[in-house]
Amino acid sequence: ALAAPALAQANPEVRWRFQSSFPRNLDVLFGTAERIASRVAALTDNRFRISVFPAGEIVPGLQVLDAVQAGTIEAGHTASYWYIGKEPGFAFFTCMPFGLNTRQLTAWLRHGGGNQLGDQLFADYSIQAFPAGDTGAQMGGWFRNEIRSQQDVQGLKFRISGLAGQVFQRMGAAPTLIAPADIYPALERGTIDATEFTGPHDDERLGFFRVARFYYAPGWFEPAARLHMMTNKRAYDALPDAYKAAIQVACAEADSEMTSRYDHLNPIALRRLVAAGAQLRFFPREMMQAAWTANEALMADLAGQNPRFRALWDSYRPYRNELFQWFRVSENSYDNFAFPAAAAAAR
Amino acid sequence: ALAAPALAQANPEVRWRFQSSFPRNLDVLFGTAERIASRVAALTDNRFRISVFPAGEIVPGLQVLDAVQAGTIEAGHTASYWYIGKEPGFAFFTCMPFGLNTRQLTAWLRHGGGNQLGDQLFADYSIQAFPAGDTGAQMGGWFRNEIRSQQDVQGLKFRISGLAGQVFQRMGAAPTLIAPADIYPALERGTIDATEFTGPHDDERLGFFRVARFYYAPGWFEPAARLHMMTNKRAYDALPDAYKAAIQVACAEADSEMTSRYDHLNPIALRRLVAAGAQLRFFPREMMQAAWTANEALMADLAGQNPRFRALWDSYRPYRNELFQWFRVSENSYDNFAFPAAAAAAR
């Protein structure tokens, strides 16, 4: 193929506004949007400039999708599962309880049909979205009291995002969704008994360990948590091809980069939290089994009520089961030998 | 900041030759180099064109580093651990026996100091290298006979890459390195007793199941296997900034993209292999323990002999131990519940 002639109009000056759903102090989350903008600038000789705004600067953090849809901002960095009130299928693109882990979710999105199904869903909101960052498997959250059995979940006032709130409701808990800035006072006053957020690095910044010392694993309700760069479809479609490619590739880079930053920062943050008095605990197996059963029933109900949810679940569920089986053979059999072996050798 | 003026010389026509260490029929491995080239072309309006060649078309597959160093080709896609004869420290940038898994290796390279140490090492060979693709945890390989105990490793003629060959030697095996095209006939004739390659998708294409039916996991000697795009440093340094950014970001995208393709393709390939008669086995725990001990002794010896290896091991080992501990809490505790739970539910 011959090179395209270097037309002046092939590299127009473009400026976009890109709002995050996160505040600046959550540096990895907010920083992911900044890194995408900076990479796009570098790739376009600074001709495509994307200004990044923190939550609330243009619209509230949980209204980013609406603002992108309306064209108030050209793009937003947010989690699709905050919009399950519009459409429960949005959950699949962030995380599912007992769902795919981070690497597996990437495979489903890119190669298992996930992104195509996502494109159809987002298009109904005039949005073209790109996966752009994942936290890795999250922690199960901060609890004022220990969870010794499934009984301790009864009536538990738990701040939690996504479909998992409905799982906890079926288990007898009283789930609630509170904006990040309001969680700490609610936990301190006892308005809530427990909260999940992400993992040690972010959780430490939000200070939960000072008012709820039991720190639970695993975060079976968020075994991955994928963010998206949501772009207004008309704005995106109007871009020159090279600028579209710049967004695509910057998001693909950010997708693994956010995870690797958390993987780097979480271990040392967990050490500091434990040194400051956090008590590490694991959810009782009985409670996890009850959660599994409640989740299966919830999925069946949602699939029965909503054809789009059913189409997504019919794609996601067999893919999950197939990848879980393969990962048991390879990754998991390695991890289960090597992780304890290194701990024993380090003693 | 103001946009830079669109100077004609800011977007020169550049052509590079980029040779893979892999043949075309290993589609995921070879295809990764093609995807990097295609992304760079899209990002530069086709002005920076990189032609991709399969193994052997310009130089033999295992001489890619030498050819990049000499400037015979501007870039190569290869595995640094094939060059441990020059410098044992090259192993760290592909994989270490009982080392970091894929996600953890990304964290060490990007944030734990790995890439900086790599830059120093590669610079001695006039190379600027970028991580560009990973297989995920590999399988342990194909064996003509079962490995029931550590005794069965004695005298075993095993085709294997990297430092793991030296671990097997210390365990009493007779390791050997054979180019991919020659493995099948060697295994068929019984010149070798066993071979590892990567995982189900590639291994199926190479046909090993027809002549060695026991397929072992886990590949403790390759818990990740990172490839690099190695560029000739003078050629790279001469590129405009936007072209450098295009290479960086295309490699970062390819880095996770190769893994996600394998994660998608390996499960179904394993099913086909088992249907065709492959017998899935797990290495005996006793043999894994002996391998762990042999590996620790090998690391100590290499660190004692080679200051650069020592510096790398002193960075890598504590990082591995720290990340292993954190991953036990989060990822591993999730996987160990969810993977079997899904299998039980699917029955």
Q: Are B135 and B64 in contact (CB under 8 A)?
A: no
The pLDDT assigned to A180 comes to 76
Compute CA distances B209 → B28, B142, B264, whole Å. Answer: 20, 7, 21
Q: Among A46, A138, A245, whose Cβ lies nearest the Cβ of B4?
A: A46
pLDDT score, position B161? 83
φ/ψ of A239, rounded to 5, equals -75, 150
pLDDT at A5: 42
pLDDT above 70: residue A109: yes
Residue B314 in domain: no
> Distance, in angstroms, between A38 CA and closest chain B CA?
11
Give A205-220 pLDDT, tens digit per residue: 999 999 999 999 999 9
**Percent of chain B, pLDDT > 90?**
93
For residue B184, the model assigns a pLDDT of 94
Tell whether B127 lies on the interface with A, counting CB pairs under 8 A: no
Residue A74 within a domain: yes
CB contact under 8 A, B339 and A322: no
Give the mutation candidate from B287, B335, B336, B347 for the A interface (greatest A CB count, under 10 A): B335
Cα angle for residues A50, B242, B235 (degrees, 5° grid): 165
Identify whether A102 is part of a domain: yes
In this structure, what DSSP letter does residue A276 have? T
Contact A335 B327 (CB under 8 A): yes
Res. B3: pLDDT tops 70: no
- Residue A249 sits in a domain whose CATH number is 3.40.190.170
Query: Is position B104 within any domain?
Result: yes
Q: Which of B217, B260, B268 sits opposite A333 (nearest CB)?
A: B217
B293 touches chain A (CB under 8 A): no
Average pLDDT, chain B: 95
Task: Tokens for B148, please give them.
Answer: 């029931």
Q: How confident is the model at residue B6, as a pLDDT?
A: 42
The pLDDT of residue B73 is 98
In a domain, A69, yes or no: yes
Inter-chain contacts counted by CB atoms under 8 A, chains A and B: 267
d(CA B301, CA B29): 33
CA dist., res. A242 & res. A9, Å (int): 12
Helix residue spans in chain A (DSSP H)? 27-43, 64-70, 102-111, 114-123, 164-170, 180-189, 200-206, 233-237, 241-275, 285-305, 307-327, 333-346
Please report the residues numbered 60 through 79 in chain A whose beta carbons come closer than 8 angstroms to any beta carbon of chain B.
none
Split into its structural domains, chain B has a count of 1
Residue B138 has pLDDT above 60, yes or no: yes
Summarize the confidence of residues B314-327 as an average pLDDT.
Answer: 98
Evaluate whether A114 touches A124 at the Cβ level (below 8 Å). Answer: no
What is the rounded CA–CA span in Å between residue A41 and residue B4?
A: 11
Domain housing B249: 13-136+224-264
The pLDDT confidence band at residue B26, using thresholds 50, 70 and 90, is very high
Mean pLDDT computed over A167-177: 95
State pLDDT tens for residues B146-181.
999 989 999 999 999 889 999 999 999 999 988 777
* Residues of B with Cβ-Cβ distance to A218 under 8 angstroms: 329-331, 333-334, 337
Output the pLDDT for position A256.
97
pLDDT value at residue B178: 83
Residue B39: what residue type?
R
- Shortest distance, CA A40 to any CA of chain B (angstroms): 9
Do residue A326 and residue B43 have CB atoms under 8 angstroms apart?
no
Question: Residue A41: inside a domain, yes or no?
Answer: yes
Q: What pLDDT does residue B9 have?
A: 58
For testing the chain B interface, which of A9, A295, A334 should be mutated: the one with the most B CBs within 10 Å? A334
By CA distance, what is A99's nearest residue in B? B338
SS3 sequence of A32-90: HHHHHHHHHHHHCCCCEEEEEECCCCCCCHHHHHHHHHHCCCCEEEECHHHHCCCCHHH
Closest CB from B102, B249, B280 relative to A253:
B249
Residues in chain A within 8 Å Cβ distance of B96: none
Asked whether the beta carbons of B22 and B54 are under 8 A apart, the reply is yes
Judging by beta carbons within 10 Å of its beta carbon (0-12, 13-18, 19+), is residue A177 exposed, middle or buried?
exposed
Region A117-121: mean pLDDT is 98
Check pLDDT > 90 for residue A2: no
Using a CB-CB cut-off of 8 Å, the residues of chain A touching B132 are none
CA distances from A31 to A25, A38, A54, A262, B125 (A): 9, 10, 10, 12, 34
CA distance A188 to chain B (A): 26
Side-chain half-sphere CA neighbours of B194 within 13 A: 27
Q: Do A342 and B263 touch (CB under 8 A)?
A: no
Q: Is residue B180 part of a domain?
A: no
Contacts of A107 in chain B (CB under 8 A): 260-261, 263-264
ipTM confidence score = 0.95
Confidence of residue B324 (pLDDT cuts 50, 70, 90): very high
Tens-place pLDDT, residues A222-246: 999 999 999 999 999 999 999 999 9
Contacts of A224 in chain B (CB under 8 A): none
For every residue of chain B, which 3-state class applies, written as one string?
Answer: CCCCCCCHHHCCCEEEEEEECCCCCCHHHHHHHHHHHHHHHHHCCCCEEEEEECCCCCCCHHHHHHHHHHCCCCEEEECHHHHCCCCHHHHHHCCCCCCCCHHHHHHHHHHCCHHHHHHHHHHCCCEEEEEEEECCCCCCEEECCCCCCHHHHCCCEEECCCCHHHHHHHCCCEEECCCHHHHHHHHHHCCCCEECCCCHHHHHHHCHHHCCCEEEECCCCCCCCEEEEEEEHHHHHCCCHHHHHHHHHHHHHHHHHHHHHHHHHHHHHHHHHHHCCCEEEECCHHHHHHHHHHHHHHHHHHHHHCHHHHHHHHHHHHHHHHHHHHHHHHHHHHHHHHHHHHHHHHC
- B282 is a domain residue: no
Question: Using a CB-CB distance cutoff of 8 angstroms, which residues of chain B are in contact with residue A329?
Answer: 139, 217-218, 270, 280
